[in-house]
Structure 1
Amino acid sequence: MTEIHTENPRTLGRGICIITGASKGFGRALAHEVSHSLKAGSVLLLVARSESLLQELKLELQSFTEEQQIVVRCVAVDLSTREGVHETVMVAKQEAGNEMDHVLLINNAGALGDISQFASFTDLDKVNSYLTLNVSSALVLTAGMLQAFPCRPGLRWSVVNLSSVFALQALPSWVLYCTGKAARKMMFNVLAEEEPNVKVLSYSPGPMDTEMQKDIQRLTGAKYHLFPCQESAAKLMKLLLDNEFPSGTHVDFFTV
């Protein structure tokens, strides 16, 4: 994997970073970026469904993270289930006794869903299944992490919501995707209003070279330039290191 990383004296501190959907695509690129910005004694918690892909990623990170004394832990779970969310929170909570000065939760997991006309969605279970993974799971996971790591003096808390331009604009045949992204944006806006000690960012990563984007082009016939995941991950990392955005803001890849 080609990494886009520049040396920077700023860091995310000694903390725990939880990345969902970490096994491939943007989540995988983020794991590489984040690993370079954590101080010794930090924990990188990688969450995805595929145990084998998570272990591959852990091996990729191992030489650097071992040298920097960063612990990489993998949690292979399905976040669309109650059990998957609970296990993720419980594994993270094991680190709550350590002296961390930063908790960073990156809600990256999600799915494209069915691209169909509005009137085709007559199956309640199908709609609920999509919303469970893409909305409810992110809410319950974030709430669980906030309870596991209560805000206190000296603890920096950051939450990233992987968003999309379609959280802001409607697109025909994309009712599930647009609804999920818009709901997540509002959900994390509420968190930003409620919790002044939690820095919240909704980040739209742009059209990246991922399986999802290839599926979109195949299904819609659209053709546009795809950017490397590492390029977008580096922009998100710059935002987090600069830490100058207002909590609750929505930032697009093209404006960074």
Structure 2
Amino acid sequence: MTSTDTTDRTALVTGASSGLGADIARDLAADHRVLLGGRDAARLGALAGELPGAEPWRVDLTAADDVAEATARIGRLDVLVHSAGVCELGSVADSDSGQWRRAFEANLFAVVDLTRALLPALRAAGGHVVLINSGAGLRANPGWGSYAASKFALRAFGDALRQEEPELRVTSVHPGRIDTPMQQAIVEHEGGAYDPGRFLAPATVARAVGNAVRTPADAHPTEIVLRPTGR
């Protein structure tokens, strides 16, 4: 099977209740049955109603028992997109250990645990893991320490997984700042005026993810970096 064969292909997208995750789900729904991961039942239900064949997959990714129960029902998985995450800003001096723990819990540990639980299903399909990382996973800026550290760690996880599971494809996506509700909260924290034209459109990043997933099987898209042009 090549990545353009779409019969009975299944994708699980976390963070699908809003923002980038929802747009990735919309893109993949063109040729996949999509499981919509998230915690907001109303938003997941509304998106499932919009996308033929999609269904909510309501799971708290930080709850080990919930993850174990939900993944046990998945015997084969072609695509796993990790889009859920958190971002809290603050200097090293001003951020407490709780902020750092929350960043690693959501942005790394939840990703590792879900991937490990789904490895048998991914192996059965010769599947593809997509990690939505960040420009902060390539460089750290002042005030972004806890977030960048978790994203650097996420990149290391992807690099290790790619080498340990040669039958899978593993793609790390490093977008610049995206026009999402999370971005609005970040700009508010920074004290600036929000101008969506400065940022990447979620649909643009979603298309890049879709292109990676649909890359023919003789190629392995390992890393994608996107920067906003401001146009």
Q: Same fold judged by TM-score > 0.5? A: yes
Please name the residue that 1:187 is paired with. Answer: 157
Shift of 1:56: 0.6
1:117 Cα deviation (Å)? 1.1
CA contact (8 A) 2:45 2:55 kept: no
The 8 Å contact of residues 164 and 204 in structure 1, kept in 2 or not, is answered as yes
Extract unaligned runs of 5+ from structure 1.
Answer: 1-8
Aligned counterpart, 1:121: 95
- SS of residue in 1 equivalent to 2:178: coil
Is 2:57 the counterpart of 1:85?
no
Residue type at the aligned position of 2:177: P
Residue matched to 1:53: 43
Aligned position for 1:231: 204
Structure 1 runs of 4+ aligned residues shifted over 3 Å read 9-13, 221-224, 243-247
Structure 2 distance, partners of 1:213, 1:138, is: 21
- Aligned AA (1:110): G
- Distance change >3 Å, CA 122–CA 112, structure 1 → 2: closer
Q: 1:126 to 1:116 in 2, by over 3 A?
A: closer
Is 1:198 aligned to 2:180, yes or no? no
Distance 2:66 2:6 in 1: 27
CA-CA distance at 1:133 after TM superposition: 1.4
The alpha-carbon deviation at position 59 of structure 1 amounts to: 0.9
Q: Is the 8 A contact 1:48 1:54 kept in 2?
A: yes
What root-mean-square deviation, in Å, do the aligned CA atoms of Structure 1 and Structure 2 show? 2.3
How does 1:6-17 map onto structure 2 within 5 Å?
A: 10-17=4-11
The corresponding residue for 1:165 is: 135
Distance 1:176 1:11 in 2: 40
Superposed, 1:97-108 pairs within 5 Å as 103-108=78-83
Q: Describe the shift of the 1:245–1:183 C-alpha distance in structure 2 as closer, same or farther (beyond 3 A).
A: farther
Paired residues of 2:122 and 2:168 also in contact (CA < 8 A): no
Check conservation: 1:85, 1:137, Cα contact below 8 A.
no
Say if 1:245 and 1:120 are closer, same or farther in 2 by CA, change over 3 A: farther
Does 2:26 correspond to 1:32?
Answer: yes
Q: Tell me how far apart the structure 2 counterparts of residues 75 and 210 of structure 1 sit (CA, whole Å).
A: 22
Distance 2:12 2:122 in 1: 16
Q: Post-superposition shift, 1:11?
A: 4.8
C-alpha distance in structure 2 between counterparts of 1:116 and 1:18, whole Å: 32
Q: Distance in 2 between matches of 1:216 and 1:14?
A: 39
1:208 corresponding residue in structure 2: 178
Identity of aligned residues (%): 24
CA gap of 1:150–1:173, structure 2 versus 1, over 3 A, is closer
Match of 1:204, SS?
strand
Secondary structure of the equivalent of 1:151?
A: helix
User: Partner amino acid for 1:151?
Assistant: R
Match of 1:151 among 123, 127, 136: 123
- Contact 1:134/1:180 (<8 A) preserved: yes
